[in-house]
Every structure is written in structure tokens, then in C-alpha cells.
Amino acid sequence: MAESTIWWLLTGGAVAAELLTGTFYLLMLAIGLAAAALAAHAGVSTPLQLVVAALAGGGAVVSWYFVKKRRPGDPSPRSDRSVNLDVGETVLIESWLPDGTATVKYRGANWTAIHRPDLIPSPGPHRVTELVGSRLLVEKI
């Protein structure tokens, strides 16, 4: 059996394992295995095929790690409008208490509103940005 065939079989095995486990990094390793198969087709020696597989697969894994790290994460379900319909609604805050909370009338009931730690509380209209327990996290509009 030709060396390239072995590399292609390993590539297929890595792709099948990825489909079963959902580990995207196995696809990156499969890229390295496919690169080694192409190197085998080109007539490169076995040790150099191993180096090509390691560099291509490892490089793909490292590249994907940095791409994924740079992307913003998923929003918290507490601040996602499609999960929590209160997010984005407007409330009127008449005054803040010394402890950094305010009582607001919202949806026919009294709610406790809190502000973001980096903002200075001020009265007026605020937008609900997140639901923290039974408290509304708000920011000034």
C-alpha cells in the first residue's frame, strides 16, 4: 500500500472521529494529515512527511485557537433579547437609593433596578440591559 494511501486513510479517520465527537480541532489535524498525503504524492521522504503533517496540523490548530480567542463570546442568556424579553425595555427611575438600587414600576409590579458598576447613577429614563436574578440591570439612555 502506498504511503499516500495511508495518509488519506488517516485523514478520513480523523474526519470521521470529528463527526462523532464534534471536536473541531480534529479537522485541523486532518488538514495536517492531508498535507502529508500530498507530500507523499510529491515523493517526499517519510520523515519529511511527518514534519509536514506536524507543521500543517499544528499550525492549523494554533491558528484556529487565535481566531477563536479573538472573536467575542456568545452573549449571556441574561442579556439576550431572544431569551429574555425584558432586555431593551425602558424604565423610568425617579431616584437612586444610597445602596445603588432603585425601585421602579415595571410590568405592573415593583422591581429593583441596579446600575452597571462603571456608571454613576442618575435619575431619568433607563434601558434594561440584563436581568440579574430578580433585579433589572439598567443603563442610562
| Domains identified in the chain and CATH numbers | 3-70 (no CATH), 77-140 (2.40.50.140)
pTM of the model: 0.55
Share of the chain above pLDDT 90, in %: 45
Sole residue written with cell 415593583: 110
For residues 15-34, b (16+ Cβ closer than 10 Å) or e, as one string?
A: beebeeeeeeebbbbbbbbb
Model pLDDT for residues 3-23, shown as the tens digit of each residue: 999 999 999 999 999 999 988
| pLDDT for the residue 56 | 97
Distance CA 122, CA 141 (A): 11
pLDDT of residue 117: 80
Q: Tell me the C-alpha distance between 7 and 29, whole Å.
A: 12
- Give the pLDDT of residue 77: 67
| Residue 79: pLDDT band with limits 50, 70, 90 | low
- Indicate the SS3 state at residue 70: helix
How many Å apart are CA 74 and CA 52, to the nearest integer?
A: 35
